[in-house]
Amino acid sequence: MIDIHSHILPGVDDGAQRLVDSIDMAKMAVEEGITKIIATPHHQNGKYTNKKADIIERVVELNHQLQKENIALEVLPGQETRIYGEILQDLEKDDILPLNHSNYLFVELPSGHVPRYTEQLLYDIQLKGLTPIIVHPERNAEVMENSDILFNLVNKGALTQVTAGSLTGHFGKKIQKFSMQLVEAQLTHFVASDVHNVSSRAFRLRDSYAKLQAEFGGQAVYYFQENAELVVQGLTVYRETPGRVKRKKILGIF
């Protein structure tokens, strides 16, 4: 398996605090069946700043340590960037890091609302040749209240990624139900751990795939796992699950 969202780099944000924490997370990842993981530290979220060059350097250091420890996990570079007006300017400065140097860029919304400029900025990002991936929209209060917002953004080219723990119910029943509805409506394209530690914010990726298998069958599991592989390779991902009905609005069914 491939995990495209993690906070495994030590000492850079609210994820792993020390190298030993990163090692413990790496060992747990291998137990989950994960072979590659993208390190996506927070950037410009009001508390943490992790620029492209710094992340790449730390990823190299962590991979070196994992090799010394004989841990069969490859860490790839990425970034979880909170949406802000100067993203494009900082992209030009080479401070912004798409996932594994691909054309896919993580964009995080504030937890409580969707900024008014979101649609325009995501469009402008696409004009630069990048595809924005909105991370954990199922945990955004305004999106939960009005899912038509997400439907519109996806229709206009954005992709989304739900958290494994959301699907397994670790963020509560309401978020779990909403996450499953996003999968059913084909408004999400990736499942990832957003792992922060080995206890309260662990991987749960294997359990989330088991949940998807039970609810939607093996085709859904293949869809999400294949999309993770395609992102790592920098290839075009599937926007809809092959063989399933067209994406539909889910506004008003909660």
Contacts of 177 (CB under 8 A, 6+ apart): 254
For residue 119, the domain's CATH number is 3.20.20.140
101 located within any domain:
yes
37 located within any domain:
yes
Q: How confident is the model at residue 32 (pLDDT cuts 50, 70, 90)?
A: very high
What Rg do the C-alpha atoms of the chain give, in angstroms? 17
244 located within any domain:
no
Q: What is the pLDDT of residues 65-121, one digit of tens each?
A: 999 999 999 999 999 999 999 999 999 999 999 999 999 999 999 999 999 999 999
Q: What is the pLDDT of residues 162-187, one digit of tens each?
A: 999 999 999 999 999 999 999 999 99
Q: Tell me the angle at which helices 52-68 and 19-32 cross, rounded to the nearest 10 degrees.
A: 70
pLDDT at 159 over 90: yes
Per-residue DSSP letters for 145-186?
H-THHHHHHHHTT-EEEEEHHHHTTTT-HHHHHHHHHHHHTT
* Number of domains comprising the chain: 1
Q: How confident is the model at residue 160 (pLDDT cuts 50, 70, 90)?
A: very high
CA separation, residue 200 to residues 169, 172, 204, 217, 242 (Å): 13, 13, 11, 28, 34
247 located within any domain:
no
User: For the chain, what percent of residues have pLDDT higher than 90?
Assistant: 94
248 located within any domain:
no
246 located within any domain:
no
253 located within any domain:
no
Q: How confident is the model at residue 246 (pLDDT cuts 50, 70, 90)?
A: very low
pLDDT at 80: 98
pLDDT at 224: 98
Q: Which residue has the higher pLDDT, 245 or 147?
A: 147
Q: Which residue in 17, 19, 15, 18 sits closest to 3, CA to CA?
A: 15
163 located within any domain:
yes
pLDDT at 247 over 90: no
Distance (Å, whole) CA 115 – CA 122:
11
Domain holding 37, by residue range, is: 2-233
pLDDT at 243: 56
pLDDT at 136 over 90: yes
Q: What is the pLDDT of residues 143-158, one digit of tens each?
A: 999 999 999 999 999 9
pLDDT at 50 over 90: yes
Instruction: Name the pairing type of β-strands 80-82 and 2-6.
Output: unpaired
pLDDT at 130: 98
Distance (Å, whole) CA 186 – CA 248:
7
Please tell me whether the overall predicted TM-score, pTM, comes out greater than 0.75 for this model: yes
